[in-house]
Chain A
Amino acid sequence: MSNKKKYSMLASTAAVAFILAACGNGDNGDTTDGNGVDDNGASEEEVDDVDGDDNGNDEAASDEPQPIEFETRVENEGEPIDGGTMSIGYVSDSPFTGIFSWELYSGNPDAIVMGYTMGTLIGSDENFQFDDSGAATVDVDQDTNVVTITLQDGVLWHDGEQVTADDIAFTHEIIGHPDYPGVRYSSDMQNIIGMEAYKAGEADSIEGITVVDDLTLEIEYESVGVQMLQAGGGIWSYAAPRHYLEDIPVSELESAPEIRENPIGFGPFKVDNIVPGESVSYSRFEDYYRGTPNIERLELETVPSSTAVAAMENHQFDLFLSMPTDQYENFENIPGYTVLGRGENAYTYIGFKLGEWVTEGDDIDQPQNVPNPDAKMANKNLRQAMAYAMDNDAVGARFYQGLRSRATSPIIPNFADYHADDLEGYPYDPERAMELLDEAGYEDTNGDGWRETPEGEELVINFASMSGGDVAEPISEYYMQSWRNIGLNVQLLDGRLHEFNSFYDRVEADDPNIDIYQGAWGTGTDPTPDGLYSRYAPFNYTRWASEENDAFMEDMLSEEGFDTEWRAEVFRDWQEYFMEELPIIPTLFRNEVFPVNNRVGAYDIGFGVDPDTDGAGIHTWYLIDEDRATE
């Protein structure tokens, strides 16, 4: 799917959060029958079994539902049928806008809808690092700063034309064009030699981009870094059909029927029909470079989150994307489906406001985060104590039915080589929390039941949290209660939860009334955390910075980083340092789940799985029955 490097602010947008599922859940209680693959049915049942077997071991922890371990692959036995139609329910409350262009789209729904048809050039492995599994390979030469993209022969656009190096140059020309209306003209683009001159209209072509031959393209950058080996880490790995789009002025591209109605790509399926904002149908592309897809037709429809479970109970789709995890208990056992899951590239966190974003001043050369040593939350013990006071194991198990688990670092486990799995993080330990506060001098000196600052002043901590979803409110209440239990007076900012836009408006503007806030980041596919935690990152909303952190950031992006083992070590050390300093408390790692109907022969959601494996690449999907399985 999309390889863009994108951190996204996450919000559960449940505009009309009526849940039909709750009503219709009673009728399929115990119909679990050993039919088909059901090995990841429900881990709660396993937990019950363990309880039955355990002999008098009455530790409280054994009652606690454990984080669920999901399968990432399902195979259903049966003869593949010829062709067939597979329907996909994409659960989303915002409809796709219908821009079929990697250069021009901006929302995630469009990326999903495009994924089946437009095609991306370069494959990636389980660490989201570029590998040889795609239509092209990439080679980064750190001495000359030249990146070479080499296309396979025989990759065809849907109209039968060959995908050439010139098409890759063309996608850069669209984004670099002075009239380009989209948002993809980034610092990565400016890093290409001659790009800024082209953007300014001073040059007719981009100096750094050379088409060597039909299949080879060289791009010269001002500087290359190890993060460029990462999908979305700085190399734009798409192509646009020059022969199809070149006559359309760039400023008119996003309204052109060639983009909105009859788009062509080099992916496994061709767009047949589009009902704007509702559904898209695709038919297979016989000349797909990896081989003709097994399935003849795909249909994708957007389903509002409020009716997703009802749609699943009615077996309306073979596959559900973005299934809302807060309704997991309503759909985990629907007969006919196997629920696959995997770690989501995202984490939830509590941020401490520690300074300000300063754009100009006497001793700063560029806009940067300036920490304030006297900030209310500047005491490290206070931050750590708040972390120990929170029982995130319980939050993951109880509020999220085991679909989320306590986070131990700001690097998610999906970045397997970079995530420090030896860190323990901050397990629930209120005793330790109170010790830390006592040690730092936060004590109740006036007997009102709340701790005062070491200077003896009243300490009231204002907590900003977002509305949305059914659990937002109870979780905020739960956290505040936990902090009150260790003697900290934490109040909800303005006494209520805040809507997504106004929340981030105030967090971004360093509203002095916010001391701590709960947010979430989508991490994209590049583990490098400089976009979120460097001194110069505007999205470093805590405004935390330190010289040690600067050194870590520099190392992560340095040339030595091409030695990945060395780089992984830097990441590990940084995580240890970060978790000690704790400018944010990473609270929860998340899982995303994919219900798959049992008539789908094989389906695989593992990261970095060879696309030619059955069930992994879209072209390998197959069905084993004409009708959707209902049990």
Chain B
Amino acid sequence: MWKTIIRRLLLMIPQILILSILIFIIADFMPGDPFTGMIDPNLDPAQLEAQRQAFGLNDPLPVRYVRWVGDALQGDFGRSFNYQQPVVAVIGGRMGNTIRLSLMSIILTYAIGLPLGILAGRYNESVLDKSILVYNFVSFAVPIFVLALLMVWIFGYNLNWFPSRGSVSINANTTWEIWTSRLYHLLLPSITTAILGTTSIIQYLRSEIIDAKVSDYVKTARSKGVPIQKVYTKHIFRNASLPIASGFGFTVVSLFMGSIFIEQIFSYRGMGFLFLQSINTRDYSVIFVLVLFYGFLGLIGTLISDLTLMAVDPRIRID
């Protein structure tokens, strides 16, 4: 297994390289540069030009690329034009927020999805099952930004149950206050993400369980006299959870990506918010690193999926 992991990790290097070249080329097509919006007649155009020169924006694409890779290998990912700070510091400052949001969303997604999927599968064709299916279709159909806006409007502004923006209150001073305030700010966006993230979990789990219910091994277990509860926990659930385990990596990654919308609408200052901001201001150095990071996450996601699958199902061997 370790061999597999190492091989997969090694394979990522060329993948990341190709991705980075693509981003560089595509970013080059974007009109404008970080200084386009900076209009100040006090500034000699020569000064702006000097700034462009200093940031190396005038060099040909291959030169810029090679220099960027060279610096990146030494841990220097460049400076953000917009934030006037090293990119690593800018992203690092946001990463905590996004990780907290994603973690919370993952926990809630599974906390909602697993029980609902099991219930729907076990009592299929019941009223409960049908209501869960309705919920599932609705949450599948509703785009994330529509639900997010509704949630802010209803729970943030009309009912005032949750804060409608931000990641932490300015009045939180002690560590305890800061963490509770953070949690409070997290709830609404992560519940929103979770509601929409459960579709495939519920669907897979439900159909797998329905299949398993009539399969031979279940009949055997039942005829042996194993209690129904035990059949579900010991036999059916384990088998039914296979596709979910295999999707785990992707779920994690898609939650990170989905945070772009959520963070924008909830004004939650994480990486997704930063990403949109950077595109608007042509903050190239931040965009590169973020896209690369998302790409890297995608690769890691598939690896994790494969590994969890191996862990859950001993029959599967990936070489």
Q: A303-B165, A310-B157 are in contact. Are A6 and B40 (CB under 8 A)?
A: yes
Q: How far is the CA of A18 from the CA of B153 in the complex (A)?
A: 11
The answer to whether A276 and B89 have CB atoms under 8 Å apart is no
User: A186-B43, A304-B267 provided; 10 other pairs, C-beta below 8 A?
Assistant: A6-B39, A8-B39, A20-B149, A24-B158, A97-B83, A278-B166, A303-B165, A500-B37, A504-B37, A505-B32
Among B45, B89, B160, B168, which residue has its beta carbon within 8 angstroms of that of A538? B45
B interface residues, Cβ below 8 angstroms from A? 30-32, 36-45, 47, 51, 82-86, 89, 93, 145, 149, 152-153, 156-158, 160, 164-168, 170-171, 173, 264-265, 267, 269, 276-277, 280-282
Q: Judge whether A81 is part of the interface by a CB distance below 8 angstroms.
A: no
- What are the 6 closest A-B residue pairs judged by CB atoms, nearest first? A501-B32, A531-B41, A502-B31, A186-B42, A279-B170, A310-B157
In whole Å, how far is B152's beta carbon from the nearest beta carbon of chain A?
7
Among A7, A13, A104, A275, which residue has its beta carbon within 8 angstroms of that of B168? A275
Give a binary string over A273-314; 1 marks a CB under 8 Å from any B CB, 0 the rest. Answer: 101111111000000000000000001011110110011011
27 CB < 8 A contacts A-B: A5-B40, A7-B41, A8-B39, A9-B37, A9-B39, A16-B264, A94-B281, A95-B269, A97-B82, A97-B84, A182-B84, A183-B43, A187-B42, A187-B44, A188-B42, A273-B173, A275-B167, A278-B170, A278-B267, A303-B267, A307-B152, A311-B157, A367-B45, A504-B36, A505-B32, A537-B41, A539-B41
Task: Tell me which residues across on chain A come within 8 A of B157, comparing CB atoms.
Answer: 20, 24, 307, 310-311, 313-314
- From residue 159 to 191 of chain A, which have CB atoms closer than 8 A to chain B? 181-183, 185-188
- Which interface residue of B47, B89, B276 has the most chain A CB atoms within 10 A? B47
The residue in chain B whose Cβ has the minimal distance to the Cβ of A498 is: B31
Task: Tell me which residues across on chain A come within 8 A of B153, comparing CB atoms.
Answer: 20, 23-24, 310
The answer to whether B89 and A255 have CB atoms under 8 Å apart is yes
Task: Tell me which residues across on chain B come within 8 A of A302, comparing CB atoms.
Answer: 267
The answer to whether A15 and B165 have CB atoms under 8 Å apart is no
Among A307, A530, A538, which residue has its beta carbon within 8 angstroms of that of B165? A307
The answer to whether A499 and B31 have CB atoms under 8 Å apart is yes
Q: How far is the CA of A104 from the CA of B85 in the complex (A)?
A: 12
Q: Range of interface residues on chain A?
A: 35 or more
Q: How far is the CA of A311 from the CA of B30 in the complex (A)?
A: 35
Task: Tell me which residues across on chain B come within 8 A of A311, comparing CB atoms.
Answer: 157, 164
Q: A7-B39, A15-B264, A310-B157 are in contact. Are A301 and B85 (CB under 8 A)?
A: no
In whole Å, how far is A346's beta carbon from the nearest beta carbon of chain B?
13
The residue in chain A whose Cβ has the minimal distance to the Cβ of B157 is: A310
The residue in chain A whose Cβ has the minimal distance to the Cβ of B32 is: A501
Task: Tell me which residues across on chain A come within 8 A of B156, comparing CB atoms.
Answer: 310
Among B39, B164, B167, which residue has its beta carbon within 8 angstroms of that of A278? B167
Q: A187-B44, A310-B153 are in contact. Are A501 and B170 (CB under 8 A)?
A: no
Q: Judge whether A382 is part of the interface by a CB distance below 8 angstroms.
A: no
The answer to whether A532 and B37 have CB atoms under 8 Å apart is no
Q: How far is the CA of A97 from the CA of B83 in the complex (A)?
A: 5
Q: Judge whether A613 is part of the interface by a CB distance below 8 angstroms.
A: no
Q: How far is the CA of A506 from the CA of B156 in the complex (A)?
A: 42
Q: Judge whether A32 is part of the interface by a CB distance below 8 angstroms.
A: no
The answer to whether B41 and A15 have CB atoms under 8 Å apart is no
The residue in chain A whose Cβ has the minimal distance to the Cβ of B267 is: A304
In whole Å, how far is A221's beta carbon from the nearest beta carbon of chain B?
14
Q: Judge whether A106 is part of the interface by a CB distance below 8 angstroms.
A: yes
Q: Judge whether A38 is part of the interface by a CB distance below 8 angstroms.
A: no
Task: Tell me which residues across on chain B come within 8 A of A499, comparing CB atoms.
Answer: 31
Q: Judge whether A99 is part of the interface by a CB distance below 8 angstroms.
A: yes
Give a binary string over A52-65; 1 marks a CB under 8 Å from any B CB, 0 the rest. Answer: 00000000000000
The answer to whether B84 and A181 have CB atoms under 8 Å apart is yes
Q: Judge whether A254 is part of the interface by a CB distance below 8 angstroms.
A: yes
In whole Å, how far is B36's beta carbon from the nearest beta carbon of chain A?
5
The answer to whether A275 and B166 have CB atoms under 8 Å apart is yes
The answer to whether A275 and B149 have CB atoms under 8 Å apart is no
- From residue 89 to 129 of chain A, which have CB atoms closer than 8 A to chain B? 94-95, 97, 99, 104, 106-107
Q: How far is the CA of A243 from the CA of B280 in the complex (A)?
A: 38
Q: A13-B280, A18-B149, A280-B170 are in contact. Are A501 and B36 (CB under 8 A)?
A: yes
Task: Tell me which residues across on chain A come within 8 A of B37, comparing CB atoms.
Answer: 9, 500-501, 504
In whole Å, how far is A531's beta carbon from the nearest beta carbon of chain B?
3
Q: How far is the CA of A238 from the CA of B43 in the complex (A)?
A: 18
The answer to whether A502 and B32 have CB atoms under 8 Å apart is yes
The residue in chain B whose Cβ has the minimal distance to the Cβ of A85 is: B171
Q: How far is the CA of A166 from the CA of B282 in the complex (A)?
A: 38
In whole Å, how far is B96's beta carbon from the nearest beta carbon of chain A?
11
The residue in chain A whose Cβ has the minimal distance to the Cβ of B282 is: A501
In whole Å, how far is B194's beta carbon from the nearest beta carbon of chain A?
21
Task: Tell me which residues across on chain B come within 8 A of A532, comparing CB atoms.
Answer: 41
The answer to whether A106 and B84 have CB atoms under 8 Å apart is yes
In whole Å, how far is B109's beta carbon from the nearest beta carbon of chain A?
24
Q: A185-B47, A275-B166 are in contact. Are A95 and B31 (CB under 8 A)?
A: no
The residue in chain B whose Cβ has the minimal distance to the Cβ of A537 is: B41
Q: How far is the CA of A233 from the CA of B84 in the complex (A)?
A: 26
The answer to whether B164 and A501 have CB atoms under 8 Å apart is no
The answer to whether A186 and B165 have CB atoms under 8 Å apart is no
Q: How far is the CA of A277 from the CA of B160 in the complex (A)?
A: 23
Q: How far is the CA of A280 from the CA of B169 in the complex (A)?
A: 10
The answer to whether A307 and B44 have CB atoms under 8 Å apart is no
The residue in chain A whose Cβ has the minimal distance to the Cβ of B148 is: A18
Q: How far is the CA of A530 from the CA of B158 in the complex (A)?
A: 51
The residue in chain B whose Cβ has the minimal distance to the Cβ of A186 is: B42
The answer to whether B165 and A304 have CB atoms under 8 Å apart is yes
The answer to whether A94 and B277 have CB atoms under 8 Å apart is yes
The answer to whether B40 and A7 have CB atoms under 8 Å apart is yes
Task: Tell me which residues across on chain B come within 8 A of A13, comparing CB atoms.
Answer: 280
Task: Tell me which residues across on chain B come within 8 A of A97, comparing CB atoms.
Answer: 82-84
In whole Å, how far is B50's beta carbon from the nearest beta carbon of chain A?
9
Task: Tell me which residues across on chain B come within 8 A of A538, comparing CB atoms.
Answer: 45
Task: Tell me which residues across on chain A come within 8 A of B85, comparing CB atoms.
Answer: 254-255
Task: Tell me which residues across on chain B come within 8 A of A500, comparing CB atoms.
Answer: 32, 37
Q: How far is the CA of A414 from the CA of B283 in the complex (A)?
A: 35
